[in-house]
Structure 1
Amino acid sequence: MNAPIRLLIHGATGRMGQALLWLAAQAPADFTVVAAVSRKPSQRVVDGVPQFGASELAGVPAFDVAIDFSLAEAFDRILALCEGRGVALVTGTTGLDDTQRDALRAASARIPVLWASNFSLGVAVLADLVERAARALPGWDCDIVEAHHAGKRDAPSGTALSLGAAAGQGGASPRYASLRAGDIVGEHTVQFTTAGERIELVHRAGNRDIFARGALHAASRLGTRAPGLYRLADLLD
């Protein structure tokens, strides 16, 4: 039996960080969280997990994979730590600038790294289907309609843009429409239309735990991979 994967959770007090800690604790045979890192923790140990401040990052114990859902201004430190220790990084931190994206690509020559705008395994499959549909349906209109809760500011969503990129890889020119209402977790519809025909590919998120589960799935597979820049779809098997 393999030993549990040692995880570092970076951005531990955020919504995703809390979901990751909870789900990892439900699977002790698969994961052990050796460090939870946040800006300024109020306690040193919470539910058996050591807590570290951002300024203490260099002193965290050995880990196999870091999962990062923090802020763009904290991203450089966690990338440098993973690169320096030669361990894998799974990150969903948004708002990275061009310099940070270049640094992520450069680090992938030395460690396995994965950045995704959405960690739903269903969305990863959807993106593959969208690219295949766009390739098979040249000349069809492509529209992406996404809906999220009223508090979400960016529009189109990062996931919609990623699906649009997949459509573009297949040769389509996607258009976007966004809806912000109520407490919708996330819905994405990719529609291909021509005279007399319409195809709809749809993903609906029922709760936010699916994203944390996807990140843990990625962590369970990325740590043993060769250095490189991976997509979530690369880790589905």
Structure 2
Amino acid sequence: MSELPNPIRVLIHGASGRMGQALLRLAGERDDLVVTAAVARAQPAQRVIDGVAHFAASELTGVPAFDVAIDFSLPQGFDGILALCEERGAALVSGTTGLEAVQREALQAASTRIPLLWAANFSLGVAVLSELVERAAAALPGWDCDIVESHHVHKQDAPSGTALALGASAEQGGAHPRYASLRAGDIVGEHFVQFTTLGERIELNHRATNRDIFARGALHAAARLAARPPGHYRLRDLLA
């Protein structure tokens, strides 16, 4: 593993969004990270805010040096940040959703050259839950597996990306998950995984009550990914 300067230099891509704003705010609480640039689609009203240089997406190639980029943008902006990370030899942490198949292929190809992580959910608790689901599925062949996810009324996709990721973990362990989705009130996110057979049942739950957990998880991943060798990592690979 190569040595990186301390603190690790971070670029926030998608800085004007809700996650981008949370990342900028919470990065300031850490001594091991420093944000060197923030990039948004629109031209910034101010070039420097709280000591952080701000850039428009059209100026992406002109950003200062960074060790890892954290990307929560749109599919239209994903190609640019992936290409920049490859060009600079920097790591990439991305939670951008809605990627096309060709973009996912590019992500996989880039993992031979840089360390990267793409995840549907950056909760560290969900990362642990994913591992528990896979282990339970492998240990309980033939048991029914049901995944129930609940979110706020404005969430459009169902099942959620996190539910599908948990289902993939269950399938990795040999289970065949079924899904149910609930949309109610302002629920941040709840995921319930149940394994059932005659006479007994195992229940695994995760409840998110604050959206900051996703930004904190992305910062955690960035701090641990920056000096890793090239590869396509999972959040659960970076927990320790």
TM-score by length of 2: 0.97
In the TM superposition, what are the counterparts of 1:130-149 in structure 2 within 5 Å?
A: 130-149=133-152
Q: Is 2:51 aligned against 1:84?
A: no
Q: Is 2:221 aligned against 1:223?
A: no
Q: Paired residues, what number? A: 236
Aligned to 1:35: 37
Q: Distance in 1 between matches of 2:15 and 2:114?
A: 23
Q: Distance in 1 between matches of 2:137 and 2:111?
A: 29
Aligned to 2:154: 151
Query: Could you tell me how far 1:167 is from its partner in structure 2?
Result: 0.3
Q: Deviations over 1:111-131 (max 9, x none)?
A: 001000000010000000000
What stretches of structure 2 of length at least 5 have no aligned partner? Answer: none
Pick aligned residue for 2:119 from 112, 116, 119: 116
The code of the aligned residue for 1:116 comes to A
Q: Deviations over 1:48-96 (max 9, x none)?
A: 2111000000000000100000001100000000000001000000001
Q: Distance in 1 between matches of 2:35 and 2:139?
A: 44
Pick aligned residue for 1:15 from 4, 14, 18: 18
Q: Distance in 2 between matches of 1:187 and 1:13?
A: 26
Aligned to 2:48: 45
Q: Distance in 1 between matches of 2:90 and 2:61?
A: 14
Secondary structure class of the residue paired with 2:130: helix
Query: Could you tell me how far 1:30 is from its partner in structure 2?
Result: 1.3
Query: Could you tell me how far 1:46 is from its partner in structure 2?
Result: 1.4
User: Once the two structures are aligned, what percentage of the paired residues are identical?
Assistant: 76
Query: Could you tell me how far 1:102 is from its partner in structure 2?
Result: 0.5
Q: Which runs of 4+ in 1 moved over 3 A?
A: none
Query: Could you tell me how far 1:31 is from its partner in structure 2?
Result: 1.2
Q: Distance in 1 between matches of 2:184 and 2:164?
A: 19
Secondary structure class of the residue paired with 2:93: strand
Q: Is 2:148 aligned against 1:175?
A: no
- Kindly report the root-mean-square deviation, in angstroms, between the aligned alpha carbons of the 2 structures: 1.0
The code of the aligned residue for 2:216 comes to R
Aligned to 1:203: 206
Q: Distance in 2 between matches of 1:169 and 1:108?
A: 21
Pick aligned residue for 2:166 from 163, 167, 170: 163
Query: Could you tell me how far 1:169 is from its partner in structure 2?
Result: 0.4
What stretches of structure 1 of length at least 5 have no aligned partner? Answer: none
Q: Distance in 2 between matches of 1:195 and 1:175?
A: 18
